[in-house]
Amino acid sequence: MSGLSAVGTGTARFDLGAFRDPELVRSLIARIQRTAGEREINLMEVCGTHTMSIGRYGFRSVMPTGLRLLSGPGCPVCVTANGDIDRAIALSRIPGVTITTFGDMVRVPGSTSSLAREKAAGRDIRVVYSPRDAIELASREPQREVVFLGVGFETTTPAIAASILEACARGIDNFSVLSMHKTTPPALRAIVNDPETAIDGFILPGHVSTITGLAPFRFLAEDYGIPGVVTGFEPVDILEGIALLIDMIERGAPAIENAYRRGACDGGNQTARQIAERVFEPCDATWRGLGVLPASGMRIRAQYSRFDARERFAVEIEPTQEPRGCRCGDVLRGAIAPSSCPLFDTACTPEHPVGPCMVSSEGSCAAYHTYRI
Name the residue among 104, 157, 161, 155 with its Cα closest to residue 129: 104
80 and 166 part of one domain: yes
pLDDT at 5: 39
Q: For the chain, how many residues are written?
A: 373
Range of the domain at 265: 41-54+73-325
Using CA atoms, how far apart are residues 369 and 10, in angstroms rounded to an integer? 10
pLDDT at 7: 39
Max CA separation in the chain (angstroms): 66
- The three-state DSSP-derived secondary structure of 176-209 is EEEECEECHHHHHHHHHCCCCCCCCEEEECHHHH
240 and 308 part of one domain: yes
pLDDT at 372: 79
288 in a structural domain: yes
259 and 309 part of one domain: yes
Three-state DSSP class for residue 175: strand
pLDDT at 12: 58
Using CA atoms, how far apart are residues 107 and 124, in angstroms rounded to an integer? 15
309 and 242 part of one domain: yes
pLDDT at 19: 74
Strand 175-179 versus strand 124-127 pairing type: unpaired
226 and 181 part of one domain: yes
281 and 334 part of one domain: no
144 and 49 part of one domain: yes
Contacts of 36 (CB under 8 A, 6+ apart): 63, 64, 66, 67, 246, 250
How confident is the chain (373 residues) per 10-residue block, as mean pLDDT?
40 68 90 95 94 90 93 93 96 97 92 96 96 96 97 96 98 98 97 94 96 97 98 92 97 96 94 98 97 97 97 93 92 94 95 93 92 81
162 in a structural domain: yes
pTM over 0.75: yes
**Residue 298, beta-bridge partner list:** 181, 282
Q: How many domains does the chain have?
A: 2
CATH number of the domain residue 164 falls in: 3.40.50.11740
